[in-house]
Amino acid sequence: MNRPSIEHCVFLDKQDPLRELKDLFQLPPGVIYLDGNSLGALPKATKERITNAIENEWGIELIRSWNSSGWFDLPRNVGDKIARLIGAKAGEVVATDTTSVNLYKVLSCAMSIAESDTPNKKKVISELSNFPTDLYIAQSLCKERGFELVLVDVEEQDLSSHLTDDVAVLMLTHVNYRTGAMHHMQKVSELAKSKGVLTIWDLAHSAGAVPVDVHQVNADFAVGCGYKYLNGGPGAPAFVWVNPCHVGRFWQPLAGWWGHDKPFSFSPDYTPSADITRFQCGTQPILSLIGLDCGIDIYLKAQEFGGMDAIRSKSVALTELFIHLVQERLSPYGISVVSPLNADERGSQVSLVAKERAYEIVQALIQRGVIGDYRAGAGVNQPDILRFGFTPLYLSFVDVWQAIEQFDLVMKNEEWKDSRFVHKSSVT
């Protein structure tokens, strides 16, 4: 990379095919938002759509809105839009519940498939560094169903050596929440298939951030988040995709009335719907789904400007610029990059480590209007991390430049030493 300058960043912004999309978000003045990997920014359309849903659809239409405003079909319709971001087809994705709950459903189905087809396979493999909720769900299900959860460190040992004959399921997060390291989904899926292992992918940090094609890699199951890169709002519903070859095989364990083939027959007996809607459980949070719909509409709008390819190219360029500037300007203060330096191995996130006081540094940065976040480590192998997410829909190259200017000042003036920053809030 040429030595970057503010002028070069201005030039890159002028060339950026996605530049118009920033205007579709409401971003507070004076804030550079580098936390869209945790909670996406607010699309301007969301306020109007949700206000309309409250005042008119709920306030006036009342219960008629389940039909007349399309509420009942919303999880499926939003799912169809998400499908386009992950290489799935219409009718294969449903937006519902949380990532944790959806993981419970699909892991349970994967276990049922293994029990039926390969009863000698009793292990579930995941990563020690996976997001904790994934591991908690797997621990709970393994206990309940008599499987063994094995956590591996793929940085230390090749994944292949762990996929022994007794492994039923490989459950991975595509882009790691701490480091932003990205698995090669195609190679890992092929390896798993060759060993007769079912794959479950958590796409929480992938959907909308990096190109994904669940059919091309022949994945078995995928889940993901609505409130991160999809900009659905706090607590927005998650999504679930199941390879059509598995959908009809088993009930998912949370067989609620919204997953019934004919929910309004009010039959005492459960008959699951034939398609992905069987992965719904109870009544869906319509206002949150409307928020998610607005967030995803911006991705559909991005199709006009190059779609996921343009988003990925810009994401790589933004993260490379950030990494370059960190190395050039912040390494004298003991700040270094822990995310993979090779863009092919990295999602849309860059994580840093500091010599000391990572939490306080993040707080001092937030005080200066640069919002990232902090993730506590666990010992020498897992240091405390400063996380920065790059959402190409609303971030510019000048934003990255200015974020580094502020970072430099925080370090130069030792602003992180301020006693205000010592107390940790409940959400870091």
Q: How far is the CB of 173 from ligand PLP (least distance, A)?
A: 4
Q: Is 227 a catalytic residue?
A: yes
287 CA to centre of own chain: 20
Q: Which of 76, 228, 278, 314 is catalytic?
A: 228
x/- track of binding to ligand PLP for residues 52-91 (CB under 6 A): ----------------------------------------
Residue that is written with structure tokens 């840093």 in the block: 352
Residue 228 annotated to the active site: yes
d(CA 54, CA 287): 8
Positive or negative: CA dihedral 191, 194, 200, 201: positive
- The distance of closest approach from Cβ of residue 133 to ligand PLP in the complex, given in angstroms and rounded to an integer, is 5
Return the residue of 74, 82, 200, 204 that touches ligand PLP, per CB under 6 A: 204
Q: How far is the CB of 102 from ligand PLP (least distance, A)?
A: 8
Given a contact cutoff of 8 angstroms between Cβ atoms, the answer to whether 107 and 138 are in contact is yes
Q: Please, what is the minimum distance in Å from the beta carbon of residue 177 to ligand PLP?
A: 4
Q: How far apart are CA 57 and CA 68, in angstroms?
A: 9
232 vs 238: CA distance, rounded Å: 9
Binding segment toward ligand PLP, per CB under 6 A, in 126-134, 347-355, 365-373, 406-414: 126-134
Site residues for ligand PLP, 205-234, by CB under 6 A, read: 205, 225
Q: Is 131 in the site for ligand PLP (CB under 6 A)?
A: yes
Nearer to ligand PLP (CB atom), residue 151 or residue 398 = 151
Torsion of CA 398, 32, 348, 322, to 10 degrees: 50
Catalytic residue status for 387:
yes
Is 100 an interacting residue with respect to ligand PLP (CB under 6 A)? yes
CA dist., res. 322 & res. 352, Å (int)? 11
- In the bound state with ligand PLP, the residue whose beta carbon lies nearer, of 99 and 252, is 99
Question: HEC string of 243-259?
Answer: CHHHHCCCCCCCCCHHH
Which residue from 77, 133, 139, 367 is in contact with ligand PLP, where contact means CB under 6 A?
133
Kindly state whether residue 202 participates in binding ligand PLP, applying the rule CB under 6 A: yes
Number of residues in contact with ligand PLP under rule CB under 6 A: 13
Binding residue (CB under 6 A) for ligand PLP from 173, 179, 284, 288: 173
Q: What contacts 28, CB < 8 A, 6 or more positions away? A: none
Q: Is 35 in the site for ligand PLP (CB under 6 A)?
A: no
Cβ(114)–Cβ(168) below 8 Å:
yes
Dihedral in degrees, nearest 10, Cα atoms 166, 180, 188, 251: 60
State the residues that interact with ligand PLP by CB under 6 A. Answer: 98-100, 131, 133-134, 173, 177, 202, 204-205, 225, 238
The residues annotated with a catalytic role in the active site are: 131, 202, 227-228, 387
